[in-house]
Structure 1
Amino acid sequence: MMLLVTHSLQYFYTATSGISSFPEFVAVGMVDGLVISQYDSNTQNAVPRQTWMKEHLDQEYWESETGLARTAEKDLKEEMRILKERFNQTEGEHVLQRSYGCEWDDESNVIGGYERYGYDGEDFITLDLTNKKWVAVKPEAAWSRQKWDRWESSSKGRTHYITHGCRDWLKKYVEYGSSTLRRKVAPEVSLIHKKSSSFVVCHATGFYPDTVNITWRRDGGKMHEDVNVTETLPNGDGTFQKRAELTVSPEERKRSQYTCEVTHISGEPTLVTLTEEEGNVQKLISY
């Protein structure tokens, strides 16, 4: 199975009200899950968060990013004021977040993107990139949808940025940080189980990039039932981890051979075969 590496560029704008321990506005830019830039209402300046961003982009770029962030801060705070007024929320803690971004597959140049708003922890309104229209996720967002759809040029402009400008900047950032973003680190794979338990975990960790497939096989055949594959999670060192949980009784384990197969772009698939040995088992077999 061929795995394609997908790169992503995402921006998160967060406005808060009634939370004294947190800035009233924060803007964060991320490439492939790494924070590349940050701005908040306390410092009032956009700054690089990766060495390669600082090395490749001049002061004019960061001044421009600061200007964009200040405009976004003003707009999101105004939207927060309108929402609180409409919902008659004079007190309490409230959070309004705008997020948008795009993905780029450097093998086939496939593009995906999104823009959405969330209010107090729930999805609120999202941009339909195909029809260039806003979609109210919550009934309370109908008023915002009607207002924003009247600004047709704005929704078309946002769609064009996400499908074109965002992609172009993402390509630049990936090139700037290629030594980090295009590196390939193989996963370490282990099985975690106890003889008396029906729960077996195939755990892959330490890999980069984050695209990985984990498959449980019984006597060579791919299993679909009794298997739960969790989402990919970040490690603290910039690598990722993922696990596939198998439910199989100790008696059934004696009748068949169970193997976990982990496929990653760093090299050949890794096979780890379940044995009756207690604890962690690691057995690497290349095709």
Structure 2
Amino acid sequence: MVSVIYHVVSLFSGVHSWQLMYGCELNDDGTKRGYFQFGYDGEDFVSLDKSSLTWTAASPQAVITKHKWEANRAIAEQQKAYLENTCIEWLQKYVRYGKDTLERNVSPQVSLLQKSSSSSVSCHATGFYPSGVTVTWQKNGQDHIEDVDLGQLIPNEDGTFQVTSTITVTPDELKNNKFSCVVEHQGETISSILTEDKIKTNYASVPIGIILAAVAGVLLLVVTGVAGYKVYQKKKGFKPVNASDDGSNSSAHSDPKA
């Protein structure tokens, strides 16, 4: 679509806008479509009916323009020729220029994410192009739509896309059933089964015995270090200075007799 806005100054009622929009389409079967329309002060005004070479007035004020342009059939013929020939040629040229980008096909990367053992599970698909993707859930091989929330399609900085679908299941449901996230993109199907080894989490289930052993090891290291330091100072003949001695010595040096 191409849009052009003109600002017209009227001596009687201020500034007004005159907008032109036009565009063309070329379908896979070779059929062509195009539109050519005008707006006035942000409202539809008059548009071209390419098949009948007539103009459609969108408001009573546009009827005068409609009759004036239809009286000169060459205006509609000229715009139709542009939409079906020149516009299509430029469209095909730009498609060739961007062929590598427009026709690329990048498969999605699928990850299963969970914040905690009791929270919902997210199926995150990212890095795919083009944007057409389907994310669904299955339970024991059957489509499952309960407690499922599909997020919005989000563009990535590199031009690819990402989307997240979340399912809410209890730990018992997850343990006793087979849940799968199914991602379909450009004829490719990626199925990820919700198992403990495939779900990425922010928590770690470490046995309490290992935690206690680690804490005990740290405490033992601290005690050993303190004892070793005392033995080292004793061998050097280190003698601690009392606070009172330190204070008296300091006063003696700070107040010398004249």
For normalisation by structure 1, the TM-score amounts to: 0.46
Retained in 1: the 8 A contact 2:50–2:76? no
The residue aligned with 1:46 is: none
The residue aligned with 1:206 is: 127
Retained in 2: the 8 A contact 1:263–1:270? yes
The residue aligned with 2:193 is: 273
Gap change, CA 1:172 and 1:188, over 3 Å in 2 = same
The residue aligned with 1:35 is: none
1:223 and 1:115 map into 2 onto residues whose CA distance is 46
SS of alignment partner, residue 135 of structure 2: strand
Q: Report the Cα offset of residue 214 of structure 1.
A: 2.2
**Is 1:242 matched up with 2:182?**
no
1:95-174 equivalence runs, <5 A: 101=23, 106=28, 108=29, 124-125=43-44, 142=59, 150=67, 151=69, 166-174=87-95
The residue aligned with 1:77 is: 7
Query: How large is the Cα RMSD of the aligned pairs?
Result: 4.5
1:252 and 1:118 map into 2 onto residues whose CA distance is 58
The counterpart of 1:197, out of the listed 116, 119, 129, is 119
Unaligned runs of 5+ in 2: 203-258
How many residue pairs are counted as aligned between the two chains? 189
2:39 and 2:169 map into 1 onto residues whose CA distance is 43
1:228 and 1:206 map into 2 onto residues whose CA distance is 20
Q: Deviations over 1:64-95 (max 9, x none)?
A: xxxxxxxx34xx323xx68xx6xx9x8xxx99
Unaligned runs of 5+ in 1: 1-9, 14-71, 137-141, 281-287
Higher relative contact order (CA 8 A, sep 6+): 1
Retained in 2: the 8 A contact 1:102–1:111? yes
Rg (Cα) greater in structure: 2
Retained in 2: the 8 A contact 1:129–1:159? no
1:256 and 1:135 map into 2 onto residues whose CA distance is 62
SS of alignment partner, residue 124 of structure 2: strand
2:177 and 2:94 map into 1 onto residues whose CA distance is 48
Which has a greater percent of helix? Answer: 2
The residue aligned with 1:33 is: none
Q: Deviations over 1:30-67 (max 9, x none)?
A: xxxxxxxxxxxxxxxxxxxxxxxxxxxxxxxxxxxxxx
2:173 and 2:18 map into 1 onto residues whose CA distance is 51
The residue aligned with 1:187 is: 108
AA aligned opposite 2:153:
T
